[in-house]
Amino acid sequence: MGKHLTKADRIKLEALLKAGHGKKEIADMLHVHRSTIYREIKRGVYTALNSDLTQEERYSPDIADDKYRENLKSKGGVLKIGNDIKLANYIEDKIVNEGYSPAAVLGELKAQGKEGEFSVTICVTTLYSYIDKGIFLQLTNKDLPVKANKKRDYKKVKRQQARAAAGTSIEKRPEEVDRREEFGHWEMDSVIGQRGKSKNTLLVLTERKTRDEIIFKLPDKTAEAVVDALDALERKWGAMFKQVFKSITVDNGSEFAYCEELERSILGEGKRTQLYYCHPYSSWERGTNEVTNKMVRRKVPKGTNFDGMTDAEVEEMENWINNYPRRIHGYHSAGELFEEELKKIG
């Protein structure tokens, strides 16, 4: 979903309602969330008197647009946001339609030098306050990303604990990889769908330095399916594969059991990458994957059946994650940093 309703959109909405289109259909046609359409109709509703003297509720784009602007100004009063409807619209669009957090919206504005496009600037604390007070008409606390749970207190497993003998232990992974100093080192994990119903799974690869993501939809959670995905990835990248995918860190799941097949190149002699295996029950050793998988879950919550997901929907989710402003990158996106690293390779 990509934009805030403009006056022109409101006129289209009126025409679509008169033509008998449903609210969900209209939301898809106007590229906004369904809840936006419901709130918009409520804002612009009025009672009309028909020629037979019966009354009928109708939607007026003029009433809706006037109410929106008047309400923002009246609620804004001495508030800074009340003097810049353009900024209010921008913030609503980014949070309601694109799933940004308040910090990501304002951080991206600053990182991309776009603050000058608006007449006022506000801080994150002020923005949260405005949302709590109901200053915005289309933006409420329900539209905000769920707050992160308290950081889990992982108990590190002793180094001598038994590890699956599929391949090289993470203990042998170079320090520069641990410190994220070098590009091309990845973490890989599976995200499962609705238990008992979703046969398909998602395979998520995360580049440790840039946090860029690659997501595959797999037919099942098997070692064969993972090998097929990595083979497809090597075909796509060709000769660059070994420079972009220098190593991949995985857990001890059965889907990663075919170490030799995962490491072996299908385009030439020798290895295409180096696999490192975490210690059992030590997900903290794939910290990057753990964090970015939470972003995946914002798009596909636990209990989602992946069997009905299309490749286009998976790609849309991947693009959303890679284009999302990240605080750890000064509110630049993982995709931006990934492209910069690729340019260095040439």
Q: Is the pLDDT of residue 115 over 70?
A: yes
Asked if residue 172 lies in contact with residue 276, where contact means CB atoms within 8 angstroms, the answer is: yes
Q: CA distances (Å), 134 to each of 39, 76, 119, 143, 288, in order? A: 14, 10, 21, 12, 35
Q: What is the pLDDT averaged over residues 7-26?
A: 89
Asked if residue 145 lies in contact with residue 99, where contact means CB atoms within 8 angstroms, the answer is: yes
Q: Would you state the pLDDT for residue 161?
A: 39
Measured in degrees and rounded to the nearest 5, phi and psi for residue 247 equal -150, 155
Listed residue (46, 14, 40) closest to 92, CA to CA:
40
Q: Would you state the pLDDT for residue 79?
A: 58
**CA gyration radius, the chain:** 25
Question: Residue 206: beta bridge partners?
Answer: 187, 213
Q: CA distances (Å), 315 to each of 54, 221, 341, in order? A: 50, 19, 21
How far is residue 136's CA from residue 105's CA, in Å, rounded to a whole number?
A: 15
Q: Return the residue matching tokens 């059965």.
A: 254
Domain 170-343 matching CATH 3.40.50.300: the answer reads no
Q: Is the pLDDT of residue 164 over 50?
A: no
pLDDT, tens digit, 9 for 90 and up, residues 178-215: 999 999 999 999 999 998 889 999 999 999 999 999 99
Listed residue (170, 139, 175, 168) closest to 157, CA to CA:
170
Q: Kindly compute the dihedral angle of the four CA atoms of residues 171, 176, 177, 178, in this order, to the nearest 10 degrees.
A: 60
Q: Would you state the pLDDT for residue 3?
A: 57
Q: Return the residue matching tokens 């939470």.
A: 294
How far is residue 206's CA from residue 200's CA, in Å, rounded to a whole number?
A: 20
Rounded to the nearest 5 degrees, what angle is found at the Cα of 189, between the Cα atoms of 98 and 329? 45
Q: Is the pLDDT of residue 262 over 70?
A: yes
Q: Which pLDDT band, with edges at 50, 70 and 90, does 316 fall under?
A: very high
pLDDT, tens digit, 9 for 90 and up, residues 52-98: 667 778 888 888 877 777 766 665 444 567 677 889 889 998 998 89
Q: Which pLDDT band, with edges at 50, 70 and 90, does 51 fall under?
A: low
What does DSSP assign to residue 150? P
Asked if residue 234 lies in contact with residue 273, where contact means CB atoms within 8 angstroms, the answer is: no
Average pLDDT, the chain: 86
